[in-house]
A and B are shown apart, each in its own frame.
Chain A
Amino acid sequence: MQATSTVDHPEAPPAVKSRSFKRAFGDVREAWDHRELWGHLGWQDIKQRYRRSVIGPLWITISMGTTALALGLLYSVLLGAELPAFLPYITAGFIVWNFILGCVTEGTDVFIANEGLIKHLPAPITVHVMRMVWRQVLFLLHNLVIYVIVMMIFFGTLSEPYRMTQDGPLQPGLSWTVALAIPGFILLAINAVWVSLLFGVISTRFRDIPPVVNSFINLVFFMTPIVWDASILTKVTKGSPEDGAWRMWIAELNPVYHFVEIVRAPLLGHTVDWHHWAVVGGFTVVGWLLALVILRNYRARVSYWV
């Protein structure tokens, strides 16, 4: 049986290789060009989730409000903190944490969950990540309503210099520096994309990763200063104040702390130490490099693995 090819075949195969940084960058750039697509899909996801419920996406806001209120009341008693300072602190921290939690847990699952789309429609894989992060951003915007309400209630306390705990550092209080939360959040979202790309690809290949991440993330929550304030780490009951200084490392060595801090601190009128920005900046660069290497090597494998 002879194949009767009717067309002349071009001789040389193209030099463009499947595994190249050009293709990896191309994937991310193309995903950006498709922003109307993931923008639409992200909205759709939110509408979808609450399609048949009466008050719809308001549930996101309500559940956040209840959690923040309950935790705020409980921990302000436990830690002996002033409620007017502590409730906003927990609210803001929890909103930021929820964004991080959503991006990490859904990020590990992002390609597995989109198997159908990946196998049936040609599109850059970063599109699925962008859709997921965008959805989390929309969740965060819903939750921000709670922040605004809490701020209105406690504005009196927060607009002037105040302390979180009795011997905590004096915070300058709310001012125009609130705007710093915006670049902080943008940086956080940029990091969410690489985290989800990296973990998403690895999890697609190794299905143990999502359960591992899911069990560790709870630990991270308790280790991160969200329901407690970092300044209480150094508080000492006996001995000289310097004895407690090393304990600051418990927070400092936790990358999530820095990410939370660059968004939360401006929201509360706290001073943001420059080193938080530096750490986050470092993570952004290193993380994206890692993600691009993974994209370069395994981007084309994702449709085989899902």
Chain B
Amino acid sequence: MVSIDVWNASVDFPIFDAKSRSLKKLALGKVGGKIGSEGRVPIIEALHDITLSLKDGDRVGLVGHNGAGKSTLLRLLAGIYEPTRGHSRIVGKVAPVFDLGVGMDPEISGYENIMIRGLFLGMTRKQMEARVNDIAEFTELGDYLQMPLRTYSTGMRVRLALGVVTSIDPEILLLDEGIGAVDAAFMAKARDRLKDLVKRSGLLVFANHSDETLLDFCDSAIWMDEGRVKMHGGLREVLTEYKGHDPFERMSAEQLARLGYTSPVLSGNGGE
């Protein structure tokens, strides 16, 4: 049973400037009488008192302004950050796609990066070797896979990363915003594959700014604001509150048709 539970979790980053990171400061600073090395270090409260429960079948969109804590929340859900206060429990195989520049070695080839990412996500070498052709085909990178990753464009990196996570059947898929860099044709292809994956695997959390993408993948949403969950509920309600207008309002008929929604939404309130 795949699930992520978070109880009253906070994530505080200590910000060590060059001075307070040294032992000298810690030793001398004891004079103040305050015990606990973190006391005088400035702290950024990236997440504050988060309580969440996500389970099998949840497809959650993550919205919020820049710096609201979306990426940090994704890392908390991935288990990369353990809460400084509160608890978290993650059950299931996690596959994150965060910042695409990092976690991939620019000097080695696309093939080798596929292998390493797969191994990091808990696959064996044999399993990855069996999937490499499938990934190559899906990403359409062809001979480029032999080239070092530094020759890749951003979109090509996204293809690679998506190719890996969608091929390994993860149980929990966490996607950060960077995905938008691929072209429309590939996005359409990836969409089918991701949807299929989510159907099988259970849990998706997707940080994105595009209404259309969110409506496509998600059915509920979390609105992050200043490190807190401001709202957690149905996707449409959250988007309406967040953006100040109904997400369907400004969509063309064909977008709606593609998303599979019927038009009564539009007739309801005819524009602003």
Contact = CB atoms under 8 A, between A and B. Distances in A.
Contacts of A18: 82-83, 87
Chain B interface size, under 10 / 10 to 19 / 20 to 34 / 35 or more: 35 or more
B202 to A, nearest CB: 14
A3 B232 contact: yes
Given A6-B234, A121-B103, A44 B87 contact: no
Given A36-B125, A123-B120, A7 B80 contact: no
Nearest to A121: B120
A177 B189 CA distance: 63
Interface string B84-107: 101101000010101100110101
Interface stretch (B111-119, B243-251, B256-264): B111-119
Given A36-B124, A44-B108, A44-B112, A4 B231 contact: yes
A170 interface: no
Given A13-B87, A14-B89, A120-B96, A3 B21 contact: no
A29 to B, nearest CB: 14
A208 B24 CA distance: 9
Given A1-B231, A7-B55, A37-B119, A118 B80 contact: yes
Given A9-B53, A41-B116, A120-B80, A208 B233 contact: no
Interface residues of A, number: 37
A119 B233 contact: no
Interface in A97-152: 116-123
Contacts, number: 114
Contacts of B233: 3-6
A40 B7 contact: no
Contacts of A13: 7-8, 86-87
B220 interface: yes
A121 B116 CA distance: 11
Interface in A1-21: 1, 3-10, 13-14, 16, 18
B182 interface: no
B105 A48 contact: yes
A235 interface: no
A113 to B, nearest CB: 13
Nearest to B21: A207
Contacts of B22: 206-208
A107 B221 CA distance: 42
B154 interface: no
Interface in A50-93: 51
A121 B237 contact: no
Contact of A206 (B21, B75, B83, B230): B21
B120 A117 contact: yes
Given A14-B87, A207-B21, A304-B13, A3 B120 contact: no
Interface of B: 5, 7-8, 13-14, 16, 18, 21-24, 26, 51, 53-55, 58, 75, 78-84, 86-87, 89, 94, 96, 98-99, 102-103, 105, 107-108, 112, 115-117, 119-122, 124-125, 220, 229-234, 237, 241
7 contacts: A40-B119, A119-B80, A119-B98, A122-B79, A123-B120, A303-B81, A305-B14
